[in-house]
Amino acid sequence: MRVFKSLIAISLALSLSGCWDNRDINHRVLPVVMGITKKNNEYYIYLQIPEPSRNTTKIKIVSGSGKTINHAVDKISANLEDHVDLLHVKVILVDKKYAQEGMDDIIADFMRGRDVSSKSLIAICDEDMAQFFAIAKKKMEPEGTALYDFFEKNAGWNPQIALTRVWEVYRSIHSYTRDVAVPIIRSGTSTVVQHVGSAVIKNGKMVAQISSDDTLLFNAFSGESTQGKIEVSSHASVLIVSNSMTNKSLMSNDKPILKSKIKLKVVILETNGNPTSETIKQELEGMLTQRFEQMFAKLKASGADILGTGQYFRNKIPRAKLKNWRTQYYPELKLELQVDAVIENTGFLNMR
């Protein structure tokens, strides 16, 4: 009996030994935003930490540097009264110059170490990182989640803003046929954040930049909802209420052809003069088609396929040749886009 009790005690001790390094939630610091820049082979890390205080939330910005991101975070943690836990980081801001040099190393570290969630959003900061956080801190208090809410679909997100997560960037680095677009932000003059377009990321490196209007088309092409976006043409402004996308791929003389159709349902908000519904429809379709063609030409010149067009040819090009998609097939790709705008009603206006 005594031996049996001893075995039970040992088994319980072994089962509890795996939790020896657990820290109570009250002794952990939970940053929601992480800023990363690199200078002279040194990583500089900025952490935005919300601190609940009675009926409000205060903001604390802490920073540190190190040879690696973990080294910098460990140094920050050593100077705080609590342990820094990165698992709750929602947004990762990367310095623009660093993104242009290539951020594949930190993306690989995030996926390997699992200290940061692979679902965290990636964004690029188009100004000095220390200045951004200093200005943002003043404007975010007493609400400490304004930056995360900017990307939250149930809060401040708009359809002309790209949403890209750590795992998507990692996937694109190791994909033959898919690149990604990452939002670019800076501190606003009257708002916390100002959106200035999207970075075109190829193999973990920023190779081009597209505007917010171009990002709307990118989101529509990717099947993301563009509901709520207002488009303004010469004779009217319309509200997009829904969108859908269809694609058909084929090969002709070993050259890829992609026939795409974007269908938009819109509601007329305002008119300039007395245009007919058909005039507004043609203007909108022509404007969006021209904008898409200009964007696609820029993307082909950069060699980045953020639209993921190569995905539609994976069953038409042998895998041995698919690795040459960006260099051999993508430059020859002919994309035939058709924009079909359907005016559901005229809102509160009486059209002739």
pLDDT (tens digit, 9 = 90+) per residue, 222-268?
888 777 787 887 888 888 888 899 999 999 999 999 999 999 999 98
Interval 86-106: pLDDT, tens: 888 999 999 999 999 999 999
Nearest to 99 by CA among 205, 209, 208: 205
Interval 275-317: pLDDT, tens: 888 998 999 999 999 999 999 999 999 999 999 999 999 999 9
pLDDT of residue 129: 93
Task: Tell me: pLDDT of 160 over 60.
Answer: yes
Strands (E), the chain: 28-29, 33-39, 42-53, 56-66, 83-84, 91-95, 121-125, 180-187, 193-202, 205-210, 230-232, 236-252, 255-271, 334-345
pLDDT of residue 347: 54
Measure the CA–CA gap between 244 and 242, rounded to whole angstroms. 7
pLDDT of residue 6: 56
In which residue ranges of the chain is CATH 3.30.300.210 found?
Answer: 220-352
Measure the CA–CA gap between 42 and 343, rounded to whole angstroms. 55
Q: Name the β-bridge partners of 130.
A: none
Measure the CA–CA gap between 232 and 321, rounded to whole angstroms. 43
Which DSSP category does 329 fall into? I
Report, as an integer, the average pLDDT of 44-59: 80
Q: What angle do CA 134, 137, 143 make, to 5 degrees?
A: 170
Measure the CA–CA gap between 69 and 2, rounded to whole angstroms. 51
Report, as an integer, the average pLDDT of 141-166: 79
Task: Tell me: pLDDT of 16 over 90.
Answer: no
Give the pLDDT band (50/70/90) at residue 1: low
Distances (CA, A) of 195 to 21, 123, 212, 289, 327: 41, 10, 8, 23, 31
Measure the CA–CA gap between 271 and 349, rounded to whole angstroms. 9
Contact 28, 85 (CB under 8 A): yes
Neighbours of 96 (CB within 10 A): 19
Task: Tell me: pLDDT of 22 over 60.
Answer: no
| Average pLDDT of the residues of the chain | 86
Task: Tell me: pLDDT of 8 over 80.
Answer: no
139 or 13, greater pLDDT: 139
Share of the chain above pLDDT 90, in %: 55
Contact 144, 32 (CB under 8 A): yes
pLDDT of residue 351: 45
Q: Name the β-bridge partners of 186.
A: 194
Measure the CA–CA gap between 213 and 284, rounded to whole angstroms. 13
Give the pLDDT band (50/70/90) at residue 4: low
Q: What are phi and psi of 340, to 5 degrees?
A: -120, 105
Give the pLDDT band (50/70/90) at residue 340: very high
CATH of domain 220-352: 3.30.300.210
Give the pLDDT band (50/70/90) at residue 165: very high
Share of the chain above pLDDT 70, in %: 87
Measure the CA–CA gap between 165 and 182, rounded to whole angstroms. 9
Task: Tell me: pLDDT of 7 over 90.
Answer: no
pLDDT of residue 134: 87
The pTM of this model reads 0.85
Task: Tell me: pLDDT of 143 over 60.
Answer: no
115 or 198, greater pLDDT: 198
Strands of the sheet with 91-95, listed across from one edge: 56-66, 42-53, 33-39, 91-95, 121-125, 180-187, 193-202, 205-210
pLDDT of residue 302: 95
Measure the CA–CA gap between 46 and 33, rounded to whole angstroms. 8
Measure the CA–CA gap between 313 and 44, rounded to whole angstroms. 41
Give the pLDDT band (50/70/90) at residue 352: very low
Q: Is the peptide bond before 52 cis (omega within 30 degrees of 0)?
A: no
Element (H, E) at 130: helix 129-140
pLDDT of residue 269: 87
